[in-house]
């Protein structure tokens, strides 16, 4: 892309590069594909905001249409305080991409075999898809939803590894979910969130061949500084 076109693009997108947009798009596609073709078909629940939404719906009979926005807004409000406006901007883009890809996948028949009778394989594969997809989004400085924003905020505030923050929020919700979900289902959910959380952390921290420092969110400087501050205090 020519320098003038690059400058115009960055101004139009608020300083976000083409590469960042592409990786947000790719991460959203991978994440939504896994959830649609594996998690939803095998009924392996998630922790975090999704699991909390299902828990509230079950016990209080409140529609997810009302619960989800409220929980996401609360998480993003906390994230704004700790991670800045660029994080919110990148997260909004990723959220739109994920919603768009969900609509696309719904237009097609299932693209993977039904793994309902193989829950262990489903848990591993589901965790891989979510881990890679969300990992690419988080590496750019954004998040794919309120649960990612909450985990990043906890990581920043408590100086925890990101995988530990994910596991903390997921395990708390999954333990509460034992009030209405069989233990066997919870075990497979723990497997999938463990796989995804460690993959997200690994991708976020992955070093390129031509540098010797951690890359967290290159296009968004304010998020970068705060994220790197978290990494340096581990």
pLDDT, position 140? 92
pLDDT at 13 over 80: no
Rounded CA separation 93/83 (Å): 16
User: Helices marked H in 1-159 — which ranges?
Assistant: 3-12, 18-34, 40-42, 48-60, 64-83, 85-106, 119-139, 146-158
pLDDT, position 10? 55
DSSP for 193-222 reads HHHHHHHHHHHHHPPPTT-SS--S-TT-HH
pLDDT at 103 over 50: yes
Q: For the chain, which residues make up each domain, given as ranges?
A: 31-232
Residues 161-173: pLDDT tens digits? 988 998 899 889 8
Report for 36-45, 130-139, 184-193: range of highest mean pLDDT: 130-139
Residues 39-97: pLDDT tens digits? 878 877 767 877 787 788 788 888 766 777 788 888 998 898 888 889 899 988 988 89
Q: Which residue has the higher pLDDT, 226 or 167?
A: 167
Cβ contacts of 140 within 8 Å, gap of 6 or more: 20, 23, 24, 27, 90, 217, 218, 219, 220
Whether the full predicted model's pTM is greater than 0.85, yes or no, is no
């Amino acid at each position: 892309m020519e320098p003038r076109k690059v400058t115009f693009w960055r101004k139009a997108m608020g300083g976000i590069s083409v590469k960042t947009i592409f990786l947000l798009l790719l991460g959203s596609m991978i994440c939504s594909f896994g959830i649609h073709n594996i998690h939803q078909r095998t009924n392996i629940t998630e922790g975090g905001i999704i699991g909390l939404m299902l828990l509230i719906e079950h016990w209080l009979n409140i529609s997810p249409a009302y619960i989800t926005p409220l929980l996401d807004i609360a998480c993003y409000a906390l994230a704004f305080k700790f991670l800045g406006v660029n994080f919110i901007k990148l997260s909004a883009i990723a959220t739109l991409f994920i919603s768009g890809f969900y609509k696309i996948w719904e237009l097609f028949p299932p693209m993977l075999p039904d793994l309902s009778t193989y829950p262990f394989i489903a848990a591993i594969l589901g965790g891989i898809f979510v881990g890679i997809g969300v990992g690419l989004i988080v590496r750019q400085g954004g998040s794919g939803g309120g649960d990612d924003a909450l985990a990043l905020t906890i990581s920043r505030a408590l100086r925890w590894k990101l995988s530990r923050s994910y596991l903390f929020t997921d395990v708390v919700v999954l333990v509460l979910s034992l009030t209405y979900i069989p233990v066997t289902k919870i075990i497979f959910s723990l497997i999938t969130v463990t796989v995804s959380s460690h993959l997200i952390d690994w991708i976020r921290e992955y070093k390129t061949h031509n540098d010797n420092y951690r890359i967290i969110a290159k296009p968004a400087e304010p998020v970068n500084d705060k994220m790197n501050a978290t990494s340096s205090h581990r």
